[in-house]
Amino acid sequence: MNSSGIKRIGVLTSGGDAPGMNAAIRAVVRACAFHNVEVEGIFQGYAGLIAGDFKRLNERSVARILGRGGTILKSSRCKEFFTSEGRATAIEQMKKHHIDALITIGGNGTFTGAHILSQESGIPVMGIPGSIDNDLYGTDHCIGFDTATNTVVDAVDKIRDTATSHNRIFFVEVMGRNSGFIALKAGIAAGAIAIVLPEDEMTSEELMQILRASEESGKSSSIVIVAEGAKGGTAYELANKVAAENPDYDTRVSVLGHLQRGGAPSCYDRVISSRMGVAAVEGLLQGRKDVMIGIVNDRETYTSLEEAITRANLPNRDELRIARILAI
């Protein structure tokens, strides 16, 4: 299996945490143990890579973390790593600790740094997509997306009880600065009357038309799901516009925020994290580098980091059409 000559692999998590990152760390460490490769856990993401905050891990180091949210390796956003001086220090730290290859678990920013590091140093780098936004090209689902979406659906189901009891329109804002995946999937699953995405132009006038049609059909309460980066405005802005247009509407806003990042990972996230962690290690040992492991049509696949961060991963527009049909 190990045709690459790799004897020690470093693993880090970077950027926003996502449920399932610990499951991926566990899979990386245990796959390395299986293939007789040493593992250095790198704490605090790229900041720890620069500072040399490393700890040797073994199969017992990752016991009982499969179902834990967050990341035992901690995470951060490190501006210093995006300077040539910062990366030079990181490369020296890897050489000092005899790290032959690096696995990075994170999203777009994480992979941008990993790609630059790989290009500058020649060190084999493998990315594992961990992002609740699900915005990376080359995988059907990023680690954490399924759990985050289920968290939103559970919250909206609870909010709907209050909306129904008081005949209110609730505007629920979910994460997704540049990506509407959470909003779209959760909106369909929770029966939202309208879903406002960064990728879709919905004006306040169009939203008013939907709400009026709903009222005419006999609905007395509604849920509107708004992605935080929606072009039509934030949940507060849209709620204010609707209230100004029709003062009879009793509107409320709920911003779900960071609770979407936390919690125990779902079964699905645990499984794909485990699969990706093993495939990341085995890909490096086969000589792959500067790539991301993903799962497409239930098969592990490798995509260049450059392609993963530059090509758009867009929500299924037919699902948006379906959501509008079902909202009548």
DSSP codes joined into one string, 89-107: HHHHHHHHTT--EEEEEE-
- CA torsion sign for 91, 93, 97, 99 is negative
What is the residue whose two structure tokens read 């804002």?
A: 173
Residues 174 and 137: their CA atoms lie apart, in Å, by: 21
Closest by CA to 71, choosing from 24, 27, 29, 109, is: 24
- Tell me the CB-side half-sphere exposure of residue 156, using CA atoms within 13 A: 31
* 133 carries an active-site annotation: yes
Residues 149 and 162: their CA atoms lie apart, in Å, by: 20
CA distances, 156 to each of 107, 168, 170, 192 (Å):
26, 13, 9, 9
Residues 66 and 27: their CA atoms lie apart, in Å, by: 9
Q: Which of 17, 100, 133, 290 is catalytic?
A: 133
Kindly state the tokens that stand for 67: 């179902």
H helices of the chain, where? 21-34, 45-51, 84-96, 108-121, 145-166, 181-190, 204-216, 235-245, 267-285, 305-310, 317-326
Closest by CA to 45, choosing from 104, 111, 129, is: 104
Q: Taking every pair of C-alpha atoms in the chain, what is the biggest distance, in angstroms?
A: 70
The set of catalytic residues is 133
